[in-house]
Chain A
Amino acid sequence: MRVRILARSLGLTVLLAGSLLGLAPGSAAAASTDFTIGIPGKTGCLVCHGDPKLTEVKDKKALYISESESLASVHKDVPCVKCHTDFDASMASQSHQNKITDSKKVAGLSCKNCHEHSKQLKIYNKSTHGRMALGGDSKAPTCADCHGSHDIKSLKKNKAYKAEFQMSAREVCGKCHKKSYDSYSDYYHGRAYKTGATDAPACWDCHGSHDILPAENVESKVSSRNLAKTCGDCHTDSRTGFTDFGRLIHGRQTILNKNIVFKYADIVYSWASDKVTGIASAASKGKKTSEGK
């Protein structure tokens, strides 16, 4: 088996080396190379992509894929080409250098190819993210942008990862929606979430995930029509009067800026908060240092 894998790896190396030397693609060697086997057959792709120094020639973008992360992922038995459907071994040099397709985007939307993910895809296609993707917007977040790619893990089966993912809103949503993430600063939701409170809601707990829509859309989970129901997922008997608190969740700073007394209180709180946080942080560092000794 190992010999077979080595032979395949060697085949890819020969193919790529040939391509780089200007040999015609689609040679007999390339055509016979099998990229459809799963790990450990991924060694075939990892001959090149397993090199931490591998980068794109044009924009120096890293192309390294960690083998250990791939092996730890839920897709460890899924061959690379199952997601990278645009990859053609015979056209390897072209697809790699001339970028005929956006391999990342193609792979990011390949989840639909498996039956178990088709339900999420249908919902996603109706969402604001899905509509962007269907409209050809290159900035549209695909499955992989939120769920990860080569290191993807199961949210259903892996409880530890689910807990980790629940606390990753800054990486998942904040990288595109920085303003919204930064303004998430009310008492029991935003501030609590940002200090690691596991019972505080992440973005998707209120806004939805695959079905996410802009708040202005009446179908949105956070539209004024649906807000009471959404809050009701955690707060028993939530009605319209209660949802007024929701203005604080992303709008606390805006409300504070409206009133001079509020502003004064905010200055005092910010000052006190910085002081206390500084003391807590210093105490924590001191404790760590003494433990280290």
Chain B
Amino acid sequence: MLAEVNIWADVIATSMVAIGLGFWLFQIVGNFATGRIKRKFVDKQWPHHDAIVPPLPKIMHAIHVVSMIALWVSGIYIRFPFFDGGRDIMKNIHFVAMYLVIIIFVLRVQYALSHDGKEFTITWPDIKNFPRVFLYYMFLGKSYPHRMKYNPLQKMTYGYLFPTFLTVMAITGFGLMWPDKVLGWTASFAGGVAAAAAWARVIHFLSAALLLMFTMIHLCLSFIEDYPALLMFFGLTKQTVDEEHGHAAHPPITEPVTDHAG
């Protein structure tokens, strides 16, 4: 069973990357077809921001991005070595980047708990707003109500999906490093520690592929929906604040307000 499962994992991972690339293509074509590209990149109708993003989350995000890229490249190499003699260096890169990601993840959770955690909380209006946001991204709706810093899909991705994947990958990754200690408790039903580690490896690989797909979508939408914010988040441009059009200018989130996009 493990033999076929591993190949199915390859198929799924390939599909995840294909979906990520397909999403880019879909968004580019859709944005051209609906004229959104012109409104944004030519007419400069970008979303407004009512508060400066503090440097700490931006620094953490930048370290996380670099570390995740290192993890993906080295992780793909470990499973599918694509040049000679890179095993040791790639394993070391994977090891260092893993600790960086975990440290940044813990610090970011701590920061969220003490500073901006509410921005990721999914509320009932968010759930009601979800279909319109989804339709907007599918080019089946012209706009969606802009209520808070993040829309429901962003909240779900940043606040729940990414942390879940990172946690699963950290646990399975540590399981591969110390199978006895981390996976020993699963040995009885997995069919031994070695089998548990083999399953952990499959889960680790699939989580990485899913995370990669969501990151590709995240990068695509960051680029297309709010290119200035993307540059600002990496410190490449200075952020502009427009309080009149910001979240604070909107009424409470119980009623639909001025549409954000379109």
A residues with CB within 8 A of B: 187-188, 191-192, 194-200, 231-232, 235-242, 244-248, 251-252, 255-256, 259, 261-262, 264-265, 268-269, 273, 276-277, 280-281, 284
The stretch that binds A, out of B84-92, B130-138, B253-261, is B84-92
Identify B194's interface contact among A238, A280, A284, CB under 8 A.
A238
Q: State in angstroms the CA–CA spacing of A241 and B18 once bound together.
A: 32
Which residues of chain B in 98-149 are interfacial with respect to chain A, using CB atoms and an 8 Å cutoff? Answer: none
Contact with A along B190-202 (1 / 0, CB 8 A): 1111110110000
With A240-B191, A269-B14 in contact, do A245 and B198 touch (Cβ < 8 Å)?
yes
Shortest B129–chain A CB gap in Å is: 37
- B2 adjacent to A276 (CB under 8 Å): no
* Chain B residues within 8 Å of chain A by Cβ, number: 32
- A265 adjacent to B7 (CB under 8 Å): yes
Sorted nearest first, the 7 A-B pairs with minimum C-beta distance are: A241-B191, A237-B193, A197-B87, A239-B192, A235-B194, A280-B83, A242-B195
Chain B interface helix/strand/loop/mixed: helix
Q: State in angstroms the CA–CA spacing of A252 and B9 once bound together.
A: 13
Chain A interface helix/strand/loop/mixed: helix
Shortest A293–chain B CB gap in Å is: 22
With A195-B83, A237-B187, A269-B80 in contact, do A244 and B194 touch (Cβ < 8 Å)?
no
Q: Give the nearest-CB partner of A268 in chain B.
A: B14
CB<8 Å pairs between A and B, sample of 23: A188-B78, A192-B78, A192-B87, A195-B81, A196-B87, A198-B87, A200-B87, A235-B197, A238-B192, A238-B195, A239-B191, A239-B195, A241-B191, A248-B2, A248-B3, A248-B7, A252-B7, A255-B3, A255-B4, A264-B11, A265-B11, A269-B80, A280-B82
Which residues of chain B in 173-216 are interfacial with respect to chain A, using CB atoms and an 8 Å cutoff? Answer: 179-180, 187, 190-195, 197-198
B residues with CB within 8 A of A: 1-4, 6-7, 10-11, 14, 18, 78-88, 179-180, 187, 190-195, 197-198
Number of A-B contacts (CB under 8 A): 105
Q: State in angstroms the CA–CA spacing of A262 and B14 once bound together.
A: 11
Q: State in angstroms the CA–CA spacing of A192 and B108 once bound together.
A: 35
Q: State in angstroms the CA–CA spacing of A247 and B10 once bound together.
A: 16
Shortest A237–chain B CB gap in Å is: 4
List residues of chain B with CB within 8 A of the CB of A187: 6, 79-80
Q: State in angstroms the CA–CA spacing of A239 and B194 once bound together.
A: 7
